Amino acid sequence: MKDCRYFYIDGKWVNPANPRDFIVLNPATEQPIATISLGSAADVERAVAAAKRALESYAETTVHERAALLRRIIEVYRSRMNEMAETISLEMGAPISLSRAAQAPAGLAHFLEMVKVLGQFKFEELKGSTLMRKEPIGVCGLITPWNWPMNQIACKVAPALAAGCTMVLKPSEVAPLSAYLFAQILDEAALPPGVFNLVNGDGPTVGSAISSHPDVALVSFTGSTRAGVAVASAAAPTVKRVTQELGGKSANIILDDADLENAVKEGVQACFRNTGQSCNAPTRMLVPRSKMSEAAEVAKVVAEATSVGDPFAEDTNLGPLANKVQFDKVQRMISNGIEEGASLITGGPGRPDAVNKGYFVKPTVFSDVRNDMMIAKDEIFGPVLCIIPYDDEDDAVRIANDTPYGLSGYVTSEDMDRARRVAKRIRSGNVHINSARLDFGGCFGGYKQSGNGREWGEAGLEEFLELKAVFGYAPSAK
């Protein structure tokens, strides 16, 4: 079992102020795999002080120096990519094929993209006699979840470093081992002491201490909407900037001219990817009312062909949920769907057949779902698909937007003009047309209760910058 009880503060691995052991479990076996320590406000104080000291010099580094630092991180990250993929699969259960293809590479992709952004970004621009200058906001608190650990860490750390900010990271205590490895990568890349600091811990203790700290200028949070409200509340008295990427209940509109079989197949696979533990998963599939039976049959075949099992088996499509709390929640939601009267097409409560340990769930499909049912309203965060009928295009858009969330959306049509028109009507931070893949150079974030602010690419860099106007910088000639 790994001993990961140290924190990374001021360029050194240090003991916690008040050691409090926490056992990390393998969600596939429910067996211990590591011990971390849960930090305290004293550890946060030490980390923020280190970041504040480092800010004075790091904020004055040149774009060239910061780009060189990012390139060193990229080089080290690449050398430890396989280790990172295996660590992620071990700690949160993603199939190793997904960890190698997406989970670990996502972290690298954000650093590569940020190097591109730095190459063309204008930190200063003269408008008349006024200099518009973008400066690092300061010390940043970064709070990240367990479902896409490296994606969420890198999409905050990379732009923070590129902006000239220093930071304190609190990863999820459920899946902290990839963050521990990430800190080792940054240390090997010779990051200046205090620029990056890692303190493990829980939300009510370490997360709250970071959010409320007066020397933290920005909190970037990814997690549930409930926890996001707590972070914003803790941050409010110090009037710091808070950016949030929160929950989702994304609609997948399959228009009546689409190739239904292919669209449903792709929609089910996208919903179940990462065992349904993605905030932007297309969990509400909207299908023309006349095609409901056909769509349900296709979804049933795809779901029942999904291989659930050992994350380290090459043919596994679905690993376990990441922890017992999530397992219990998904089981409750599936039972609620049955009680509410939705048609259970396949799956249902309990573990898959022949599985008696681990947080595995059955790939589940409900049909004839109403948008006011709990399974259609609440984020389930598991491999559970709701198929909802609609009457016409306007009805589909209405249903898609009838949610407190607005993170992502999906539209499938043979008519690109029609797909573009519908995409523009969806109230969400991003929309995929015909299963288009995510673009790390684009942006990611939500409308409504899915959060505020944007991550990824140039938009992500902007969040870590303050805009200053220097009047009379270039006085007009007399």
Instruction: Tell me the residue type at 129.
Output: S
Q: Of residues 279, 443, 458, 463, which has the active-site annotation? A: 279
The yes-or-no answer on residue 443 being catalytic is: no
9 neighbors 46 (Cβ within 8 angstroms): yes
CA distance 476 to 463: 32
252 neighbors 408 (Cβ within 8 angstroms): no
The yes-or-no answer on residue 245 being catalytic is: yes
Q: Of residues 245, 379, 455, 463, which has the active-site annotation? A: 245
Q: What is the 3-state secondary structure (H, E, C) of 132-147?
A: EEEEECCEEEEECCCC
Closest CA to 33 of 317, 322, 308, 277: 322
Closest CA to 202 of 329, 24, 358: 24
User: Please, is 139 exposed, middle or buried when counting C-beta atoms within 10 Å of its C-beta (0-12, 13-18, 19+)?
Assistant: buried
CA distance 400 to 230: 27
**CA 343 to the chain's CA centroid:** 31
User: Please, is 374 exposed, middle or buried when counting C-beta atoms within 10 Å of its C-beta (0-12, 13-18, 19+)?
Assistant: middle
CA distance 199 to 168: 7
CA distance 233 to 218: 13
The residues assigned a catalytic role are: 245, 279
